Amino acid sequence: ATKKLAYGVNTIKFSARSPARGSFVVIRRWFNYMRPVNVGVIGLGTVGAGTVDLLSRNSAEIARRAGRNIRVTQAAVRDMSRSRDCQVSDIDLTDDPTAITTNPEIDVVLELMGGEDEAYEVVSTALRNGKHVVTANKALVATRGNELFEQASQAGLVIAFEAAVAGGIPVIKVVRESLAGNKIDGLAGILNGTCNFILTQIHEQGLDYDAVLAEAQRLGYAEADPFFDVGGVDAAHKLTILASIAFGIPLDFSSVYIEGIEQLRYQDIIYADELGYRIKHLGIARSDNGHLDLRVHPCLVEKDQLLANVSGVMNAVRIRGDAVGDSLLYGAGAGAKPTASAVVGDLVDVVRTLTSDPGNRVPHLAFQPHQLADPKMRPITEISCAHYLRLTVRDRPGVLADVTRILGERHVSIRVISQKGFGDEQGVVPVVIVTHDAKEADIADATKMIETLEAN
């Protein structure tokens, strides 16, 4: 082996400007090139175990793509006694993440533990110790990404986060790199697999909300705190990240309007169906005359649209660019294997960048850090769109007249109005109204007035 190494050095050494220095650099590069990349994984839950398993199952294919062997040498968990869904016999297991983030033998840290404050410390410590980071943690990127990217850039390191948005769909790479020639006008997507799974199962199987949520948790789709899913927070984290790379703005989670799916009832799904729509929980980002609006809420989507037909845990993101037009990316939005696919894709990218000049890498948020814009955010009250309202009213003369008068006085025009049934034993009946485009502020005001009317 020693002899072979000397031949390799000789061939290149004579082409270097300074033979003595050149040979040293070449030897070091050559050694680095041949050495496997050592990876430390923080978290061996759904995503961590899925990633370790994928790295071992497809190791030869992955090495052929990355140009180096990749091996997981160390992993951190909370409970060392728990069995894992991956082979851990060759891995040095610890319950202390800093044992990995400060280990000089580790080249790349995979942060797959979730949460915000502790994960921030893990990533920041890894960067301070010269390690590239791959994370699936959208909460962390959306809320603390600006600071972490700044720290990484200062250190010439990479934080890769494809798995943070839409599970296995390579949407970060597409928006950041493949669509780099476009001005992005907007995007809309089903960004939370758990919400889409719940809405689909309730609609198609008539199952109970709590039972479907429990099933999503069992399948590893839901966040540690499932309120993040059903309350719309997880989708808002993902929209924050997508908006940054689409529009070239700093990450700003606080500017996203958030509604979850907890207020939806089975009958809303059925009434929407009768009107020709599916209810989907969407993240929407629009750029309009220098203003941006970012929102996450349930939406009525016409049944013949592609987004309306994205079912179960699948996600889809529709992106509108001025050159490409509409593009739709579709795939599994959560779960061990799809998310591991995104983590490993990022890891291979990071391994490839180990040999490239930091100044010429793809910027974290797609645009050069000093070129990020500061557009005006349009508040939800100023946004106009059609609305679906389900009212519970007394079935007596004059009630609908009162309701339509209140809407009319607030410039809300009705497209469809439909009373559902003949009222229960108290004479109470649901009425569904679909409006033309109306300002959110007018709808909110009218809703408040109608609720007062009911109380009287």
Q: Give the range of 133-141, 207-215, 361-369, 376-384 binding ligand NAP by CB under 6 A.
A: 133-141
Q: Measured from the CB atom, is 106 or 399 closer to ligand NAP?
A: 106
- The answer to whether residue 346 forms part of the interface with ligand HSE (CB under 6 A) is no
CB of 367 to ligand HSE, least distance (A): 24
13 given a catalytic annotation: no
Three-state helix/strand/coil letters over the chain: CHHHHHHHHHHHHCCCCCHHHHHHHHHHHHHHHHCCEEEEEECCCHHHHHHHHHHHHCHHHHHHHHCCCEEEEEEECCCCCCCCCCCCCCCEEECCCHHHHCCCCCCEEEECCCCCHHHHHHHHHHHHCCCEEEECCHHHHHHHHHHHHHHHHHCCCCEECHHHCCCCCCHHHHHHHHCCCCCEEEEEEECCHHHHHHHHHHHHHCCCHHHHHHHHHHCCCCCCCCHHHHCCHHHHHHHHHHHHHHHCCCCCHHHCEECCCCCCCHHHHHHHHHHCEEEEEEEEEEEECCEEEEEEEEEEEECCCHHHHCCCCEEEEEEEECCCEEEEEEEECCCHHHHHHHHHHHHHHHHHHCCCCHHHCCCCCCCCHHHCCCCEECCHHHCEECCEEEEEEECCCCHHHHHHHHHHHCCCCEEEEEECCCCCCCCEEEEEEEECCEEHHHHHHHHHHHHHHHHC
- The answer to whether residue 81 forms part of the interface with ligand NAP (CB under 6 A) is no
**Single residue of 167, 170, 189, 232 touching ligand HSE by CB under 6 A:** 167
CB of 334 to ligand HSE, least distance (A): 4
Total binding residues for ligand NAP by CB under 6 A? 30
Angle separating helix axes 117-128 and 138-154, nearest 10 degrees: 20
Name the catalytic one among 138, 173, 238, 280. 238
- The answer to whether residue 224 forms part of the interface with ligand NAP (CB under 6 A) is yes
CB of 342 to ligand HSE, least distance (A): 10
**Single residue of 53, 162, 223, 268 touching ligand HSE by CB under 6 A:** 223
- The answer to whether residue 222 forms part of the interface with ligand HSE (CB under 6 A) is yes
Find out whether 229 and 194 touch, Cβ atoms under 8 Å.
Answer: yes
Closest CA to 341 of 155, 162, 115, 92: 162
Q: Give the range of 118-126, 147-155, 220-228, 360-368 binding ligand HSE by CB under 6 A.
A: 220-228
- Which partner in ligand HSE, ligand NAP, none is near 74 (CB below 5 to 8 A by kind)? none
**Contact set for ligand NAP, span 297-356 (CB under 6 A):** 334-335, 339
Q: Measured from the CB atom, is 287 or 339 closer to ligand NAP?
A: 339
Cα dihedral 207, 211, 214, 216, rounded to 10, equals: 0
- The answer to whether residue 117 forms part of the interface with ligand NAP (CB under 6 A) is no
- The answer to whether residue 136 forms part of the interface with ligand NAP (CB under 6 A) is yes
Q: Measured from the CB atom, is 40 or 167 closer to ligand NAP?
A: 167
Total binding residues for ligand HSE by CB under 6 A? 11
Q: Give the range of 91-99, 169-177, 189-197, 254-262 binding ligand HSE by CB under 6 A.
A: 189-197
288, two tokens: 């309009």
Binding mask 303-342 for ligand HSE (x = CB under 6 A): ------------------------------xx--------
- The answer to whether residue 79 forms part of the interface with ligand NAP (CB under 6 A) is yes
**Single residue of 193, 231, 283, 430 touching ligand HSE by CB under 6 A:** 193
CB of 167 to ligand NAP, least distance (A): 5
423, two tokens: 């009222």
Q: Measured from the CB atom, is 167 or 345 closer to ligand HSE?
A: 167
Nearest residue relative to ligand NAP (C-beta): 45
Site for ligand NAP, rule CB under 6 A? 42-48, 76-79, 82, 95, 97, 112-114, 118, 136-138, 163, 167, 220-221, 223-224, 334-335, 339
What is the set of active-site residues? Answer: 238
Site for ligand HSE, rule CB under 6 A? 167, 192-194, 221-223, 229, 234, 333-334
